[in-house]
Amino acid sequence: MRRMTCERSAGLAWVALIVVLVMGPVAAVAAVAAVAAVVEEEEEEEEARPNIVFIMADDLGYGDLGCFGQKRIRTPNIDRLAAEGMKLTDFYAGSTVCAPSRCVLMTGLHTGHCFIRGNGKINLRPGDVTIAEVLQQAGYTCGLSGKWGLGHENSSGLPTRQGFDHFFGYLDQHHAHNYYPSFLVRGERRVRLRNEVPREGKFGQGVATRQVDYSHDLIMSDALNWLEEVHKRPFFLYLPVTIPHANNEAGRKGMEVPELGEYAKTDWPEIQKSTAAMISRLDRDVGRLMSMLTRLGIDRNTVVFFTSDNGPHREGGNDPEFFDSNGRFRGIKRALYEGGIRVPTIVRWPGRIAAGSTSPVIGSFADVLPTLAELAGAKVPQRLDGLSIVPTLTGNAKAQKLHKYLYWEFYEGGGARAVRMGQWKAVGKSLDGKQLELYHLGSDPGERKNVAAEHPEIVARALAAMQDAHTPSPMWKVRGATVQPKRVQKNRVPGT
């Protein structure tokens, strides 16, 4: 702000000189006072609008962080983030797998309304409104380093065609399995890496035989370099890293990491050493990012979010039970029980969010767009499913609007849906059946006792909420055990 203030002071001097020459000194004093008041108001407004960093891990469980109960994996930097900010204990991902969760996050619409409701080669459309577009219109520079998953090459879903000024990383989630890919994407062009991937898949997936460039390290370097370039103006950094997702193409050796670090000498299975090393590597890099914010002098005017896109996985040889990755909850990735969708979430903003605070506000990824829009002073799109949680974050919980319910639908494994209404949670094993399981999360957070038979009136409310939340989409139909989009929407841009 000091640089801007000096520039504006110089501008005021010119205003005074011109008015003195044209109207005399008395008029000059009045004119300069009026202009100074406007400038001061503008500067206060800019001071109130924070920079925004949104870090999202990939398949990190609720119990994978020390501040959420992890005992074996060390995460001191993320734990410090929680100690200096607020933990949201009842916050949910948009879905239980990658692409729909990210679509909910970016568009503020839950999976009963959003365009991309499952993992598939589907692209956001030109008319879909993303967080980046909303913040860009409010004067923010928007950068993305990491895994996108909402648009492919030569499509309308490219990040640079959805509001981001800068992009580096993976477009496709299958490509993102490989931590040593032969290429990443910068802007809209491929950047060749030194890794060699024989029998590489169509989207860049595979297993490298020559491993030189670790993608996570490249993504973090890109994010830090971009911050260095843009930090003097309002910015939004979206940092959806790929850790600790597995390279599914590598079989039971899919937890790819350059070194095991402090876990090398443990007596754990090798694959669990790798899982822990990946999470601690992410923690290290969160520390590097926070140090940079401090060094650049923007620490106190930057709000930092940390979360995960869904629950922990049992892929690439990883055993989520070894570290108790879902904590006290039932289920993992691909389940709509709490362990598959409740995610560790932290928000830090010095001086605005109480250090060491905790909130049980019930929220989800759909709330992120309206929350960031309010923080940025941006216009919030109409007909969103999300609510701003700024009142909760800033200590005004009494002013917080609450959801009537949260809703999820899932198209794999024959389909499933779930709704949370206050402390009640209903889970259905199909998208149209009337048989629901019912749990009271206040007394049974692990969803062990199905009390549907004892509370038919609550089951009826849950069914009504599910019906209210679901808008049919011709793109998504449940067929068998895997997701089957009715048709692949290429969304190619004319001339490409």
CB count within 10 Å of CB 413 equals 14
Specify the pTM: 0.89
Mind listing the pLDDT tens digit for each residue in 198-238? 999 999 999 999 999 999 999 999 999 999 999 999 999 99
Domain count, the chain: 3
pLDDT at 42: 45
pLDDT at 257: 98
**Quick one: 237 and 371 in the same domain?**
yes
Q: Is residue 493 part of a domain?
A: no
Mean pLDDT across 94-116:
98
Mind listing the pLDDT tens digit for each residue in 365-415? 999 999 999 999 999 999 999 999 999 999 999 999 999 999 999 999 899
Identify the domain boundary among 349, 376, 399: 399
pLDDT at 478: 80
**Quick one: 42 and 57 in the same domain?**
no
**Quick one: 23 and 146 in the same domain?**
no
Domain of 456, CATH number, reads: 3.30.1120.10
Q: Is the pLDDT of residue 173 over 50?
A: yes
Mind listing the pLDDT tens digit for each residue in 354-366? 999 999 999 999 9
CA separation for the pair 276, 373 (Å, rounded) = 35
**Quick one: 342 and 443 in the same domain?**
no
Q: Is residue 490 part of a domain?
A: no
Q: Is residue 464 part of a domain?
A: yes
Domain of 82, CATH number, reads: 3.40.720.10
Q: Is residue 494 part of a domain?
A: no
Among the listed residues 302, 307, 286, the one whose alpha carbon sits nearest the alpha carbon of residue 56: 307
Instruction: State the pLDDT confidence band at 11, using cuts at 50, 70 and 90.
Output: low
**Quick one: 225 and 77 in the same domain?**
yes
pLDDT at 433: 87
Q: Is the pLDDT of residue 20 over 80?
A: no
**Quick one: 459 and 318 in the same domain?**
no
**Quick one: 333 and 450 in the same domain?**
no
CA separation for the pair 332, 341 (Å, rounded) = 8
Mind listing the pLDDT tens digit for each residue in 410-449? 999 899 999 999 999 999 999 988 899 999 999 999 999 9
Question: Which domain covers residue 458, as residue numbers?
Answer: 406-485
**Proportion of the chain above pLDDT 90, given as a percent:** 85
**Quick one: 411 and 343 in the same domain?**
no
As a whole number of angstroms, the longest Cα–Cα distance in the chain is 86
Instruction: State the pLDDT confidence band at 488, using cuts at 50, 70 and 90.
Output: very low
pLDDT at 196: 98
Q: What is the mean pLDDT of the chain?
A: 91
Report how far apart, in Å, the C-alpha atoms of 319 and of each of 19, 246, 253, 326, 346 are: 74, 11, 12, 11, 25
Q: What is the 3-state secondary structure (H, E, C) of 302-325?
A: EEEEEEECCCCCCCCCCCCCCCCC
DSSP letters for 245-257: ---GGGGGG----
Report how far apart, in Å, the C-alpha atoms of 78 and of each of 56, 237, 293, 348, 359 are: 12, 17, 15, 11, 17
Q: Is residue 496 part of a domain?
A: no
Q: Is residue 495 part of a domain?
A: no
**Quick one: 204 and 272 in the same domain?**
yes
pLDDT at 298: 98
**Quick one: 169 and 287 in the same domain?**
yes
Q: Is the pLDDT of residue 30 over 90?
A: no
CA separation for the pair 175, 245 (Å, rounded) = 12
**Quick one: 232 and 138 in the same domain?**
yes
Q: What share of the chain is helix, strand, coil (3-state, %, to 5)?
A: 35, 20, 45
What is the token pair recorded at 220? 């973090």
**Quick one: 30 and 79 in the same domain?**
no
Q: Is residue 312 part of a domain?
A: yes
Instruction: State the pLDDT confidence band at 492, using cuts at 50, 70 and 90.
Output: very low
pLDDT at 38: 43
pLDDT at 391: 98
Q: Work out whether strand 345-348 and strand 302-308 pair parallel, antiparallel, or are unpaired.
A: antiparallel
